[in-house]
């Protein structure tokens, strides 16, 4: 077990109808004016927007809207949000939607509280000192952004998709999680979420050099199996409350840092390889992961053989997998079975591999993972074609 610091200042309200407590929470925090951040309209179609607006008007909180957040949120839209906050003297940023909306809300909260250009924080040239408070009404469980201090934004001028990690400033103050708001997700959106949640659980599990993790192994295995079990139920009945609820809480646990705390020397190579793919080709993050992970396993998995075989046995339920490739085959079949693509061709994209390699190489360098050479990175991308 490695030493660690774990900080989590988020209050979670989970269950049917929890959005009805939004007004009370805003009053408790003394908020008078919010920036309401949302995406392309799903919250208007499923009634969440109306519930939020009803709460805001009932408690007399003024609203400035900032809709139109894109999947894989972009810097220019973040900058527009920052300008609104400065012009309107906003007290709190309230993101209503999926991970993209919550991440953009955090980026706005960071940028609006400082004179420094917000990208400087994402480029790691500056360290953030303050941020406005954020709340999240989550409608797509996948990224864990509702209970972590991470935000991911793409600079569309350079195709750099960077993450910032700052729990003290960026963890939402309160997150509202009503599993019924996720009934309107399509099966495809749910399957992309499933691949993302599993990847957050898998990456530390697979890449640690530790033989076994006495706490983290059983925790990660249990949460991962719960994700796969609830996904199977959702595929048969998308409105099964218990399955949607299990899926939603598993997503939060999966990337809140709870499962990873204390794991020795682990990394996120598949996320480092996926970020350039979704930045350049604008595909869903989860779709990018189901393309990258089997390719990574086949090309770079030998050094993690012991952990990959254990993953095959304990999470995929294989009797006695004979090789890394055998596990990759079963994982590929699983992704296909839930409707997530396993190659660039299946996703209908034909990316420039040199461009991806250069972007990923810089990302590995930033993460201190110097054993990922350009040759190795290109080989993994070639395998994913």
Interacting span for ligand NZQ (CB under 6 A) from 3-11, 81-89, 120-128, 182-190: 182-190
Give which of ligand NZQ, Zn ion, none residue 182 binds (C-beta under 5 to 8 Å, depending on kind).
ligand NZQ
Q: Which token pair is 296?
A: 């990574």
Q: Closer to ligand NZQ by CB, 34 or 152: give it.
A: 152
Q: Closer to ligand NZQ by CB, 109 or 140: give it.
A: 140
- From the centroid of its chain, how far is CA 138? 12
Q: How many CA atoms lie within 13 A of 115 on its CB side?
A: 0
Exactly one of 49, 121, 122, 255 binds ligand NZQ (CB under 6 A); that residue is 255
Per-residue three-class SS string for 15-67: CCCHHHHHHHHHHHCCCCEEEEEECCCHHHHCCHHHHHHHHHHHCCCEEEEEC
Exactly one of 81, 99, 128, 172 binds ligand NZQ (CB under 6 A); that residue is 99
User: Would you count residue 169 as binding ligand NZQ (CB under 6 A)?
Assistant: no
User: Would you count residue 194 as binding ligand NZQ (CB under 6 A)?
Assistant: no
Q: Closer to ligand NZQ by CB, 263 or 309: give it.
A: 263
Using CB under 6 A as the binding rule, the residues of this chain from 347 to 366 that contact ligand NZQ are none
User: Would you count residue 260 as binding ligand NZQ (CB under 6 A)?
Assistant: no
| Among 162, 369, 191, CA closest to 278 | 162
Interacting span for ligand NZQ (CB under 6 A) from 97-105, 115-123, 315-323, 346-354: 97-105
Exactly one of 22, 35, 39, 327 binds ligand NZQ (CB under 6 A); that residue is 39
DSSP string, 81-122: HHHHHHHHT-SEEEEEESHHHHHHHHHHHHHHT-SS-HHHHH
In the complex, what is the shortest distance from the CB of residue 80 to ligand NZQ, in angstroms, rounded to a whole number?
Answer: 16
61, 26 contact by CB (below 8 A): yes
Using CB under 5 A as the binding rule, the residues of this chain from 188 to 217 that contact Zn ion are 196
32, 91 contact by CB (below 8 A): yes
Give which of ligand NZQ, Zn ion, none residue 216 binds (C-beta under 5 to 8 Å, depending on kind).
none
In the complex, what is the shortest distance from the CB of residue 271 to Zn ion, in angstroms, rounded to a whole number?
Answer: 6
Widest CA span of the chain, in angstroms?
63
Distance, in Å, from the CA atom of 118 to the CA atom of 113, rounded to the nearest integer, reads 10
DSSP string, 127-160: -------EEEEESS-SS-GGGSSEEEEEETTTTE
Radius of gyration of the chain (CA): 20
Give which of Zn ion, ligand NZQ, none residue 107 binds (C-beta under 5 to 8 Å, depending on kind).
none
Exactly one of 26, 150, 224, 380 binds ligand NZQ (CB under 6 A); that residue is 150
Exactly one of 51, 139, 226, 384 binds ligand NZQ (CB under 6 A); that residue is 139
In the complex, what is the shortest distance from the CB of residue 152 to Zn ion, in angstroms, rounded to a whole number?
Answer: 8
What's phi and psi for 135, nearest 5 deg?
-120, 155
Distance, in Å, from the CA atom of 259 to the CA atom of 161, rounded to the nearest integer, reads 24
For residue 220, the surrounding DSSP H or E stretch is helix 216-236
* Residue 261 burial class via C-beta count within 10 angstroms: exposed 0-12, middle 13-18, buried 19 and up: middle
In the complex, what is the shortest distance from the CB of residue 96 to ligand NZQ, in angstroms, rounded to a whole number?
Answer: 8
Give which of Zn ion, ligand NZQ, none residue 71 binds (C-beta under 5 to 8 Å, depending on kind).
ligand NZQ
User: Would you count residue 160 as binding Zn ion (CB under 5 A)?
Assistant: no
Exactly one of 140, 213, 228, 315 binds ligand NZQ (CB under 6 A); that residue is 140
Measured over the CA atoms of residue 240, residue 246, residue 248 and residue 254, the dihedral's sign is negative
Q: Closer to ligand NZQ by CB, 48 or 324: give it.
A: 48
Interacting span for ligand NZQ (CB under 6 A) from 1-9, 80-88, 176-184, 315-323: 176-184
In the complex, what is the shortest distance from the CB of residue 141 to ligand NZQ, in angstroms, rounded to a whole number?
Answer: 8
Distance, in Å, from the CA atom of 185 to the CA atom of 337, rounded to the nearest integer, reads 18
**Interface with ligand NZQ by CB under 6 A: which residues?**
39-43, 46, 71-72, 97-101, 103, 139-140, 142-145, 148, 150-152, 181-182, 184-185, 189, 193, 196, 255, 271, 278, 285-286
Interface with Zn ion by CB under 5 A: which residues? 196
């Amino acid at each position: 077990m490695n030493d660690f610091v774990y900080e989590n200042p988020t209050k979670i309200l989970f269950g049917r109808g929890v959005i009805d407590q939004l007004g009370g929470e805003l009053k408790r925090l003394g908020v008078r004016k919010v920036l309401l951040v949302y995406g392309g309209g799903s919250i208007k179609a499923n009634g969440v927007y109306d519930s939020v607006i009803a709460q805001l008007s009932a408690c007399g909180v003024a609203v400035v809207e900032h809709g139109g957040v894109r999947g894989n949120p972009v810097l220019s839209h973040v900058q527009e949000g920052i300008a609104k906050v400065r012009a309107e003297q906003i007290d709190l940023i309230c993101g209503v939607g999926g991970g993209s909306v919550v991440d953009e809300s955090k980026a706005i909260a960071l940028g609006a509280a400082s004179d420094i250009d917000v990208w400087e924080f994402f480029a790691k040239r500056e360290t953030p000192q303050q941020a406005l408070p954020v709340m999240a009404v989550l409608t797509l469980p996948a990224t864990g952004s509702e209970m972590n201090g991470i935000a991911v934004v793409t600079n569309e001028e350079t195709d750099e998709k960077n993450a910032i990690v700052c729990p003290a400033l960026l963890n939402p103050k309160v997150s509202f999680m009503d599993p019924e708001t996720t009934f309107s997700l399509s099966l495809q959106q749910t399957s992309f979420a499933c691949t993302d949640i599993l990847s957050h659980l898998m990456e530390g599990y697979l890449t640690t050099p530790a033989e076994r993790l006495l706490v983290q192994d059983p925790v990660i295995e249990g949460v991962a199996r719960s994700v796969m079990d609830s996904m199977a139920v959702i595929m048969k009945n998308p409105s099964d409350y218990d399955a949607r609820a299990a899926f939603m809480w598993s997503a939060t646990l999966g990337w809140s840092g709870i499962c990873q705390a204390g794991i020795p020397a682990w990394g996120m190579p598949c996320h480092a390889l996926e970020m350039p793919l979704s930045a350049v080709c604008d595909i869903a993050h989860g779709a990018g992961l189901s393309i990258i992970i089997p390719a990574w396993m086949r090309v770079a998995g030998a050094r993690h053989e012991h952990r990959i075989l254990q993953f095959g046995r304990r999470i995929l339920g294989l009797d006695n997998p004979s090789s890394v490739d055998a596990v990759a085959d079963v994982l590929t079949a699983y992704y296909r079975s839930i409707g997530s693509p396993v190659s660039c061709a299946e996703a209908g994209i034909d990316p420039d591999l040199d461009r991806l390699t250069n972007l990923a190489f810089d990302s590995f360098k930033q993460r201190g993972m110097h054993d990922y050479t350009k040759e190795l990175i290109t080989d993994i991308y070639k395998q994913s074609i």
